[in-house]
Amino acid sequence: MELTSLSVAALQEKLRNREVSPPEVLRSLEARIAQVDPAIHGYLSRDFDAALKLAESADVSLPLGGVPIAIKDVINVNGEPCTAASRILQGYRSNYDATVIQKLKAAGAIPFGRCNLDEFAMGSSTENSAFGHTRNPWDTSRIPGGSSGGSAAVVAADEAFASLGSDTGGSIRQPASHCGCVGLKPTYGRVSRFGLIAFASSLDQIGPFTKTVRDSALLLNAISGRDPMDSTSLAEPVPDYTAQLGRDLKGVKLGMPREYFIEGIDPQVDAAVRAAIRHYESLGAEIVEISLPNTEHAVGVYYIIATAEASANLARFDGVRYGHRAEGAANLLDQYGRTREEGFGPEVKRRIILGTYVLSSGYYDAYYLRAQKVRTLIRRDFTAAFEKVDAIVAPTSPEVAFKVGDRNDDPLKMYLADIFTIAANLAGICGLTLPCGFASVDGQKLPIGLQLLGKPFEEASLLRIADAYERSTDWHRQRPPV
Ligand code: GLN
């Protein structure tokens, strides 16, 4: 087996047994990236020399000692670019580490490489990047999903052992599903957002992309916890997320939400997810049919709340503080206008306009306030469901990865890509996707993801449930043709 196809856990074992050194690991990884990334374009930039310095002094006895981890280009790493895949941040370099980066470094990991994304994390295909789209390693004529498409593709293509992404409405789970990796969106408040470029502050959460469930637990161990720099991070104790792995599923109740098995979902996806649910039954879990009646409102509510918050968060990109500044402005106001006109791409502008509209006086009550009320109903649906079941099983996406260019002229169709992931962000609960099969389309194998949704701060039980499935199947071992 190639070194770069190893899981984080397997790599650690080799590092601790001194079969390989951290600088050797980094060199193999760089060679693999040079070989495959021209076809994938998962990375926007990398600083090999900075990473090598960290590798040379890495302590392999630490929890993630000597393990390189790729980072979505929306999370600040001191001294590195952080573009959010936007022209408006071209040339900007971070002067501090995000809390998750400080924590990764404290655990011995080496942040290495900046992953491509949809501009400011707005999108479901990574086609909204100002610096070119990322391709799916299973079929390079298809999208990897988004917005964290780069973070998903590099893990799937063995150009990274693991990566970090962010999930506002599905941006970890949907690309992980399309690329065949494990993607975890932690509970809102589990992981600090300090140093993450904000998209929608009440929905954003950082989480890991990995090759296995155990790796997901290892990364979550490292990045979780209360942070005085983020007042929305909570002081819930951080358990060892690997502790419950390997246990059986006796007594576990899984809910199958009626509203997630609907007409219009790709028949191959539906079949794979139903087969996975039967597999859970054979592992001893009890399957219970449940209802989340407000599901149909999730996409509408999301595009009001997320755009409203984005319009406020993106106000700071004015050409004064960081990144791009337009030339030849007549006065300060003109400079703001020109900088934003030149710096933001079409999707970002669309969202700022929509968000400003729903917050404007006269429309606030009809849109924003009403959306907040429906958000409460969506949260209550989950609270009620979790009185009956331990976790919820559903498809991650209604479809497999679509072709590059397929949705570009239809934003509404693109927004539906997250129909099954958005509600978890609105409710603040945790969610995970793991590979559960393949569809065959035009002779190509395309990954299908199974989504598990869990109670707030019950990531440990979600990981345990995911691990039981992973241990008894081999979907996660299959590698893309790239
Ligand atoms: N696709 C959704 C959007 O475009 C979700 C993005 C995300 O989770 N960052 O907003």
Q: What is the sign of the dihedral through the CA atoms of 198, 204, 205 and 210?
A: negative
**In testing the pocket of ligand 1, which one of 124, 193, 314 has its CB within 8 Å of the most ligand atoms?**
124
Q: What does the pLDDT average to over 65-78?
A: 98
3-state secondary structure of 472: coil
Quick: pLDDT tens for 257-291: 999 998 889 999 999 999 999 999 999 999 999 99
Ligand 1 centroid to residue 431 C-alpha, Å:
15
Question: Is the separation of the CB atoms in 263 and 270 below 8 Å?
Answer: no
Nearest CA, atom 5, ligand 1: 169
Average pLDDT (442-459) is 97
Residue 333 lies in a domain: no
Q: Specify if 41 maps to a domain.
A: yes
In a domain, 405, yes or no: no
Mutate which of 118, 348, 451 for ligand 1? The one with the most ligand atoms within 8 Å of its CB, which is 118
Q: State the Cα–Cα distance between residues 437 and 119, nearest whole angstrom.
A: 30
Of 12-16, 171-175, 407-411, 434-438, the one with minimum mean pLDDT is 407-411
171 is catalytic: yes
- Any domain includes 56: yes
Residue 341 domain-assigned? no
Q: Which of 94, 147, 192, 397 is catalytic?
A: 147
Contact 74, 62 (CB under 8 A): no
pLDDT at 186 over 80: yes
CATH number at residue 19: 3.90.1300.10
CA atoms within 13 A on the CB side of 375: 21
Is there a domain that residue 438 lies in?
Answer: no
| Residues in contact with ligand 1 (CB, 6 Å cut-off) | 121-124, 147, 167-171, 199, 306, 418
* Dist. CA 419 → ligand 1 center (Å): 11
- Asked if residue 307 is part of any domain, the answer here is no
In a domain, 58, yes or no: yes
Write down the pLDDT at residue 413. Answer: 79
Give the confidence band of 309 by pLDDT, cuts at 50, 70, 90: very high
Print the domain residue range for 217: 3-246
Q: How many domains does the chain have?
A: 1
Which helix (H) or strand (E) element contains residue 72? strand 68-72
Going by the DSSP 8-state scheme, the letter that residue 188 receives in this structure is T
pLDDT band for position 223 (50/70/90)? very high
Give the predicted TM-score (pTM) of the model. Answer: 0.97
Across the range 370-381, mean pLDDT stands at 98
Q: What is the mean pLDDT of residues 17-46?
A: 98
Confidence of residue 354 (pLDDT cuts 50, 70, 90): very high
Active-site position among 7, 72, 124, 166: 72
What is the pLDDT confidence band of residue 409, given thresholds at 50, 70 and 90? confident
Active-site annotation holds for 349: no
What is the enclosing helix (H) or strand (E) of 178? helix 173-179
The pLDDT score that the predictor gives to residue 408 is: 84
